[in-house]
């Protein structure tokens, strides 16, 4: 018999509350159960919303210094515990240890950044057009925010939503992805340890299909910040519009990486390998379409194929591993379906094999799809796995047209040594973020994050731009 820890509970007000115990399993080793996590039900969700509403009374008018202190302390605790939290993240999500630890550090830095934002908050004053009247513009917290996060960045995304929500005086009901409750539970515990008052953050774990509707329909929820799939994001946005709730959705990507004839080949290969395959390709910012001009196409696919074949796939907890497992069976099967589809659509596939390891896990070797065209479904739909396609184009103009030819618009990259092309691409890429000689994935914690079209809806996340979602403007006239 495996030793089981006590059930990890939901946090509602000042109570850790049980629920249906649900195992959290390691994707690198199905025999390794990380623990049992209590799934909440709809009535517990109602209690969590009520606790957040009650706590808003005092948290919304707390001193910015109080909010700074809590977030700064929580950031310090996360940084101090980077190794154990990194282990937990690697074990429950399958991101390799180096990436998992880097994500934990990012979460710590995010909280420290937003600690500073709490005290940097300022308003505007302007002269009225009327004599003897003052005009002031201030920002206030929005209210109770529902935060719904995905499994692929199980500590960084919660941190970059919770950080600004709390810094600006909102209270929160936090529903993490059911696949990665461990990091969410640890983050909330750390916020409490750092002095966060009762009810300011409430944690409800479980499936979106069980909790989502009750959360969205509660009249006490004033805003929803969501990261996840396009269909779910669209549903949430429509529902919030209907109920006039504030909403922010970060959804999919089909990010292009253009490689021009004049690219530095070492820079291009490094950017494409990282962008396409690191974090097992499970990033909305992943480079999934490698668009290569004809003069360098042969050299590129040869070098990429060699590099792809050399990537070491294995347990996320083995320090020698470069590519960890796919997160679960559903994603694994979806990846295999896309590989079948690529084959049927006429692509040539390099890699993309099931990999046997000492432990049973969802191991898939990275796949490069060659001889693909922009109209293939594998070049139009988000795959969200270690699979990237190569599209050969005649020249820069065709590369730009193909890069912009999807319903998405999150991140767009270009590898070139030409200042003219880099400059032109920065203007013409139809994307929220443009990367020159860098992978499409991997962003700074203090800069705005977000995309266009089907990729994002609502104001940007992160950096000082985060206040656009988490605060509401008030204009005061004094005569
Ligand atoms: C990154 O590329 O560093 O879900 C961040 C995602 C994004 C975050 C990507 N929202 O993959």
Does residue 3 sit within a domain?
A: no
* Spans of the chain, pLDDT less than 50: 1-4
Q: Answer yes or no: is the C-beta of 285 below 6 A from any ligand 1 atom.
A: yes
Structurally, the chain folds into a number of domains equal to: 2
- Same domain flag for 104 and 180: yes
Does residue 290 sit within a domain?
A: yes
- Same domain flag for 286 and 416: yes
Q: Answer yes or no: is the C-beta of 410 below 6 A from any ligand 1 atom.
A: no
Does residue 444 sit within a domain?
A: no
Q: Answer yes or no: is the C-beta of 95 below 6 A from any ligand 1 atom.
A: no
Q: Answer yes or no: is the C-beta of 37 below 6 A from any ligand 1 atom.
A: no
Does residue 202 sit within a domain?
A: yes
- Same domain flag for 377 and 454: no
Query: Is 333 labeled as catalytic in the residue annotation?
Result: no
Does residue 400 sit within a domain?
A: yes
Residue 424 maps to which CATH number? 3.40.309.10
What is the number of the ligand 1 atom nearest to the C-alpha of 443? 3
- Same domain flag for 261 and 239: no
Does residue 1 sit within a domain?
A: no
Q: Answer yes or no: is the C-beta of 442 below 6 A from any ligand 1 atom.
A: yes
pLDDT of 6 reads: 86
- Same domain flag for 158 and 265: no
- Same domain flag for 118 and 59: yes
Using the mean position of ligand 1's atoms as its centre, give its distance from the Cα of residue 335 in Å: 19
Q: What is the pLDDT of residues 214-229, one digit of tens each?
A: 999 999 999 999 999 9
Given 250, 382, 415, 461, which residue is catalytic? 250
Does residue 442 sit within a domain?
A: no
* Nearest protein CA to atom 4 of ligand 1, as residue: 284
Query: Is 284 labeled as catalytic in the residue annotation?
Result: yes
- Same domain flag for 212 and 291: no
Report the C-alpha gap between 290 and 342 in whole angstroms. Answer: 15
Domain residues for the domain of 320 are: 255-436
Rounded (to 5) percent helix, strand, coil in the chain: 40, 25, 35
CB 442 within 8 A of CB 464: no
Using the mean position of ligand 1's atoms as its centre, give its distance from the Cα of residue 35 in Å: 26
* Nearest protein CA to atom 5 of ligand 1, as residue: 442
- Same domain flag for 298 and 355: yes
Closest CA relative to residue 464, chosen from 453, 449, 475, 476:
449
pLDDT of 5 reads: 57
Phi-psi region of 157 (alpha: psi -120 to 50; beta: other; left: phi over 0): alpha
Using the mean position of ligand 1's atoms as its centre, give its distance from the Cα of residue 397 in Å: 28
Kind and range of the H or E run holding 271:
helix 265-277
Q: What is the pLDDT of residues 180-193, one digit of tens each?
A: 999 999 999 999 99
- Same domain flag for 348 and 425: yes
- Same domain flag for 412 and 276: yes
* Nearest protein CA to atom 6 of ligand 1, as residue: 284
Using the mean position of ligand 1's atoms as its centre, give its distance from the Cα of residue 449 in Å: 9
* CA-to-CA separations, 177 to 83, 133, 151, 211, 470, in angstroms, rounded: 22, 50, 5, 11, 21
pLDDT of 244 reads: 96
């Amino acid at each position: 018999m495996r030793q089981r820890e006590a059930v990890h509970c939901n946090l509602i007000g000042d109570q850790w509350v049980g629920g249906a115990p649900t195992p959290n399993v390691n994707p690198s080793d199905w025999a390794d159960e990380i623990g049992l996590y209590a799934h909440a039900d709809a009535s517990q969700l109602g209690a969590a919303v009520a606790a957040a509403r009650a706590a808003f009374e005092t948290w919304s008018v707390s001193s910015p210094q109080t909010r700074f202190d809590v977030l700064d302390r929580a950031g310090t605790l996360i940084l101090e515990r980077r190794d154990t939290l990194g282990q937990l993240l690697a074990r429950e999500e399958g991101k390799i240890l180096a990436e998992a630890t880097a994500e934990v550090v990012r979460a710590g830095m995010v909280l420290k950044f937003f600690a500073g934002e709490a005290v940097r908050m300022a308003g505007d004053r302007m002269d009225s057009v009327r004599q003897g009247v003052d005009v002031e513009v201030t920002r206030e917290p929005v209210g109770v925010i529902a935060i719904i996060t995905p499994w692929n960045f199980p500590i960084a995304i919660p941190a970059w939503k919770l950080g600004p929500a709390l810094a600006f005086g909102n209270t929160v009901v936090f529903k993490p992805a059911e696949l990665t409750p461990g990091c969410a539970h640890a983050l909330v515990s750390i916020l409490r340890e750092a002095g966060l008052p009762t009810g300011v953050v409430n944690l409800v774990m479980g499936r979106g299909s069980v909790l989502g509707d009750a959360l969205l329909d509660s009249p006490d929820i004033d805003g929803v910040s969501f990261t996840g799939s396009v269909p779910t994001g669209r549903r949430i946005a429509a529902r919030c519009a209907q109920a006039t709730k504030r909403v922010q959705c970060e959804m999919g990507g089909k990010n292009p990486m253009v490689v021009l004839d004049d690219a530095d080949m070492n820079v291009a290969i490094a950017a494409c390998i990282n962008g396409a395959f690191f974090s097992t390709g499970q990033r909305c910012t992943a480079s999934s379409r490698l668009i290569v001009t004809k003069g360098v196409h042969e050299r590129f696919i040869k070098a990429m194929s060699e590099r792809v074949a050399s990537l070491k796939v294995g347990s996320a907890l083995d320090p020698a591993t470069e590519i960890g497992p796919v997160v679960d069976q559903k994603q694994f099967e979806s990846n295999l379906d896309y590989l079948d589809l690529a084959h049927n659509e006429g692509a040539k596939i390099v890699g993309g094999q099931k990999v046997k390891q000492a432990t049973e896990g969802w191991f898939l070797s990275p796949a490069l799809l060659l001889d693909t065209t922009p109209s293939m479904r594998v070049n139009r739909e988000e795959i969200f796995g270690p699979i990237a396609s190569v599209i050969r184009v005649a020249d820069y103009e065709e590369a730009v047209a193909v890069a912009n030819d999807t319903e998405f618009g999150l991140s767009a990259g270009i590898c070139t040594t030409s200042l003219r092309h880099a400059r032109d691409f920065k203007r013409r890429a139809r994307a929220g973020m443009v990367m020159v000689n860098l992978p499409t994935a991997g962003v700074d914690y203090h800069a705005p994050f977000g995309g266009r079209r089907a990729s994002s809806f609502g104001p940007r996340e992160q950096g000082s731009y985060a206040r656009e979602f988490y605060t509401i403007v008030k204009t005061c006239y004094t005569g």
